[in-house]
Each structure stands twice: as C-alpha cells, then as structure tokens.
Amino acid sequence: MNRTDRQHIFLKLRKEFPIFIYQSYSFVFSDSQLDIRFNFSLANKYFFEPTLSIPINDNLCPERVDKTMLENLVFHIGMVELISYWKAACPPVVQILPHSLHPEQMQWWKNLYYHGLGEFFYLNGISANEEDFMQIESKGESPLVTGNQQLEEKYLVPVGGGKDSVVSLEILRKAGISMIPFIINPRPATEGSAKLAGFDARQIITVHRSIDPALLKLNDSGFLNGHTPFSALLAFTTALAAMLSGCRHIALSNESSANEATVPGTTINHQYSKSISFENDFRDYARRYIHPELNYFSLLRPLNELQIVKLFSRFPQYFGTFKSCNVGSKTDSWCGHCPKCLFTALMLSPFVSQQQAEDIFGRNLLADPALKPLLLELSGQSTAKPFECVGTVHEVQAAISHLRKNDPDKTYALLQGIESGNGPDIETLLQQFDNEHNVENKLLDIISAMLHD
C-alpha cells in the first residue's frame, strides 16, 4: 500500500477546472449490436467520449424496451461512468445536462461518489468533506421515465471469472433456475466459466466497454488517478441488460466479507460497491427510478469466503479456468505475487491438496517468504488490509491456524512469525450464516443444503 500526499494537487486542479459537465449520451441499435456513447467535458477544456457496445444475441430483445426507458437506462450508466473522468481533477461542481434529477437522486449520487471514492481519497492523501467535496446541478429539462414492462422469473448472473460467480452459477443450476450469464469485457476466464456451466456464446450477454484514451493521457501527465466503484457501473449495466432480456432478477456474487472496511476504524472500503450498504441503496434506487420489480441482490451475501471456497472446491472442473488476479487479468493468469493470489491460495488451502493448489497457481505460494508483507496486511498486522477484493482478517487468521494445526510437519516459510489472532476458528466460520441479505427463502434453503452436504 503506497499512500501519497496530493492534497495540494487536488486543490490546484479544482481551482483550475471548477466544473465537470455530463453533456449528452447517444445510442444506436443495429442488426448486430447496441452502441452507446457518452459525452463529458472537464471545464470545456478536455472532452471525453467513453463507449459501450452490446452484441445482440438470442437473449436480447430490443423491442422489449421503449425509447424513453432505454434513455433512462443509458443515462444512468453515464452517471456512474463519469466518476472515472471526474476524479481526474475533482471539480467542485458536476453539471448534468441530459435530464432533470430529483433532489433525492442527486443526494444518492453524491453519496455514491463520496463513499465509492473512499480509497481514492485515502491513497492520494486527499481531505474531502462529504458535504462540500462536490455539488450536483441538474440542468436537464427532460424528466426520466421509469419502466413498466413485464419482467420474467429469469436470473441475470454477472460472471467475473473467479470462484464466486462459479458458485452462484452452480447454485442456480442446482435449483433448476433459468439464468443468463453476463460478462463485461470478456476474457478466457469469464467465457470459460460460463461455458463450463453449460452456456454457449449465443446465450451470454456481453458488454464491451472502452475508456477514452484522453483520460489515460491526463493520468500520465499528473492529474489525479485511483480506484473507482466498478461494481456500481456493473449494477447499472446489468439493469440495462436485465430490461433488454426480460430478467426480473440480477444475482450478484458478493459475500458477507465485502462489508468489512479496508482501513480499520473507518468507512473506507475497497469493496464499497460490493457491500450490503450499496446493495440496499441500489435496490431502493432501482425500484424508484428504473423499474419497480427489478430485484438486484447478492446470492452469496449470507456466506463468508471460507464457505464459498468450500463450495467451489466441489467443482474441480473449474480449477484450470477460474482467475481472480487483477495483475494477471490481461494475460488470463495468476501473477503469484499479489494480495489476491495469496488470499485465494490461503482460502483454498483447507479444501484442496497442495498439488492441486500448485497446479492452479503454478507454484506453492505458501512457501514463498517474499509474500510475507502481504500476509501481514491480510492477517490484520498492518495499518490496513490490501486494497483488493479480499476477505476478512478473521478468515485469513482462521486459515493460518488451520494450516498449522493440520500440517504440523510441513514448513510453510511464509507463516513463520505470523500471528494467528484470537478470532473464530475455521469450524466456527464454516457454520456461520449472515442474516443481513436479500436472498429469497427458496434459494437460502438450497445454499444451506449444499453447504452442509
């Protein structure tokens, strides 16, 4: 974790670029795909045109959604997409031109920007007050229209290529539920997971998202940069896909562990847009301003990471396909040197053999003392957890204790001098069930039965 002090740059840029403008959006349906374009401006000095394209396939029916509803959906994707561009200079005013927003909506978005950028502010050493870090001005004359088309009892399932979405696919498949995989910027791990779950390319809804190169140039030239709430973008993009495919349910794969703050004693959470707080906020927003019957929830919310990995370990056909490493995402590989790789190896250790783990990661990560600084962060012996999508300190400590208890004759060089802590043991964690969730009872029964099978 590398923190910098860019407060002076933050203040300088806000003065130089006092306004960010959401100018317009456009979309065009062709026989083959839906093309979406957004137009943003940084104080009328820099202009950005990010795009999305969605190929039309067997599960997408454009005629399901009328023009006014499609405008609503596309506009909202632009509202969350602009966060990536606003953060380059953090202008104190965000002006929304395409549509008018209710005061409650503007407050909702302001809350998302502030908490979704908590890591960005923290790592850049920026002191930002929630009340005045940014004001939203709604200048559009055209109001948004909430959808009323009939939705079906189908489930849209985002597939990220890791273990979590695999478990969701298998739970829903066991339940005999009609589902459609959803992928943003496909890669071998995502497409491979969906294929192993029984879906071919014509059944998967895919979105191709591009970042305007102008933003990357600003990043390289000294403007502000950092983490944004990608899962919030996922939420609104899946809402569009759900409307186009007639799915009433969007089944995420976020676990209870995502609720834990990354920096202890604060609300700063790398996984804010995966948390139950955001989930509940989005459910309320979607039903009020997108479609009253849309059911956005995380299927794995009752479970912790160890329980999810226990279920995942029962599907070894995915072992050679799944990938959770952000560093190696472009090459569809495990880098073997980052917090995500180490955390995944630790979680798998109680449930797979050492040989299976080495086949997955290419080597025994638990025998690498060079990873010790990462383990100190993961196990709560540092000022903050890694800013990655990793589980709780207690889960890591329980895995360490389990390794020492069950493999006393093995030497895990990585574990030398690492404290196990006084948290719950692995058996206790495997019996937990988080009651703060939005999962229907019929699915809870299936999850519980699989967990205790």
Using DSSP's 3-state secondary structure scheme, residue 342 falls into helix
Mean pLDDT of 132-155: 89
Q: 342 and 389 share a domain?
A: yes
Mean pLDDT of 156-184: 96
Residue 11 CA to residue 359 CA, distance in Å, equals 49
Using DSSP's 3-state secondary structure scheme, residue 103 falls into helix
Q: 129 and 30 share a domain?
A: yes
Count of positions (residues) in the chain:
453
Q: 116 and 206 share a domain?
A: yes
How would you classify the pairing of strands 179-184 and 152-158? Answer: parallel
So what's the pLDDT on residue 273?
Answer: 96
Using DSSP's 3-state secondary structure scheme, residue 204 falls into coil
So what's the pLDDT on residue 44?
Answer: 97
Using DSSP's 3-state secondary structure scheme, residue 137 falls into strand
Mean pLDDT of 240-247: 96
Q: 201 and 286 share a domain?
A: yes
Directed axis angle between helix 305-312 and helix 393-406, to 10°? 60
390 within domain boundaries: yes
Q: How confident is the model at residue 108 (pLDDT cuts 50, 70, 90)?
A: very high
170 within domain boundaries: yes
So what's the pLDDT on residue 143?
Answer: 77
Is pLDDT at 439 greater than 80 in this prediction? yes
Q: 402 and 271 share a domain?
A: no
How would you classify the pairing of strands 33-42 and 51-55? Answer: antiparallel
So what's the pLDDT on residue 147?
Answer: 85
Mean pLDDT check: name the lowest of 258-272, 345-359, 396-410.
396-410
> Most distant CA pair in the chain: distance in Å?
71
Q: How confident is the model at residue 408 (pLDDT cuts 50, 70, 90)?
A: low
Q: 338 and 232 share a domain?
A: no
Residue 207 CA to residue 201 CA, distance in Å, equals 13
User: Which residue range(s) make up the domain with 129?
Assistant: 7-298
Q: Based on the number of CB atoms within 10 Å of its own CB, is 291 exposed (0-12), middle (13-18) or buried (19 or more)?
A: buried
CA atoms within a 13 Å half-sphere pointing along the CA-CB vector of 4 = 11
pTM of the model: 0.95
Residue 123 CA to residue 142 CA, distance in Å, equals 38
pLDDT in tens, 78-102: 999 999 999 999 999 999 999 999 9
Mean residue pLDDT of the chain comes to 93
pLDDT in tens, 282-305: 999 999 999 999 999 999 999 999
Residue 404 CA to residue 402 CA, distance in Å, equals 5
273 within domain boundaries: yes
Mean pLDDT of 172-176: 94
Mean pLDDT of 214-239: 96
pLDDT in tens, 25-46: 999 988 899 999 999 999 999 9
Is 93 within 8 Å of 14 (Cβ atoms)? no
So what's the pLDDT on residue 302?
Answer: 96
pLDDT in tens, 133-144: 999 999 888 878
- Which tokens belong to 162? 């890791």
437 within domain boundaries: no
State the total domains in the chain. Answer: 2
Q: 147 and 112 share a domain?
A: yes
In single-letter form, the type of residue at position 125 comes to: G
So what's the pLDDT on residue 95?
Answer: 97
Q: How confident is the model at residue 432 (pLDDT cuts 50, 70, 90)?
A: very high
So what's the pLDDT on residue 291?
Answer: 96
Is 429 within 8 Å of 401 (Cβ atoms)? no
450 within domain boundaries: no
Mean pLDDT check: name the lowest of 3-17, 62-76, 378-392, 417-431.
417-431
So what's the pLDDT on residue 384?
Answer: 81
Is pLDDT at 423 greater than 80 in this prediction? no
β-pair partners for 30: none
Which residues touch 200 (CB under 8 Å, ≥6 apart)? none
Q: 61 and 131 share a domain?
A: yes
Is pLDDT at 2 greater than 80 in this prediction? no
Q: 148 and 109 share a domain?
A: yes
In terms of phi and psi (left: phi > 0; alpha: psi -120 to 50; beta: otherwise), the region of 220 is alpha
So what's the pLDDT on residue 438?
Answer: 97
Q: 23 and 149 share a domain?
A: yes
pLDDT in tens, 195-223: 999 999 999 999 999 999 999 999 999 99
Residue 306 to residues 132, 298, 320, 392, 418, Cα–Cα distance (Å): 40, 17, 20, 10, 20
So what's the pLDDT on residue 367?
Answer: 87
Mean pLDDT of 326-342: 92
Mean pLDDT of 120-142: 91
214 within domain boundaries: yes
443 within domain boundaries: no
- Which tokens belong to 211? 């970042």
312 within domain boundaries: no
So what's the pLDDT on residue 185?
Answer: 96
So what's the pLDDT on residue 419?
Answer: 72
So what's the pLDDT on residue 404?
Answer: 82
Q: 24 and 108 share a domain?
A: yes
- Choose the final residue of a domain: 264, 281, 298: 298
Q: 341 and 273 share a domain?
A: no
- Choose the final residue of a domain: 281, 298, 315: 298
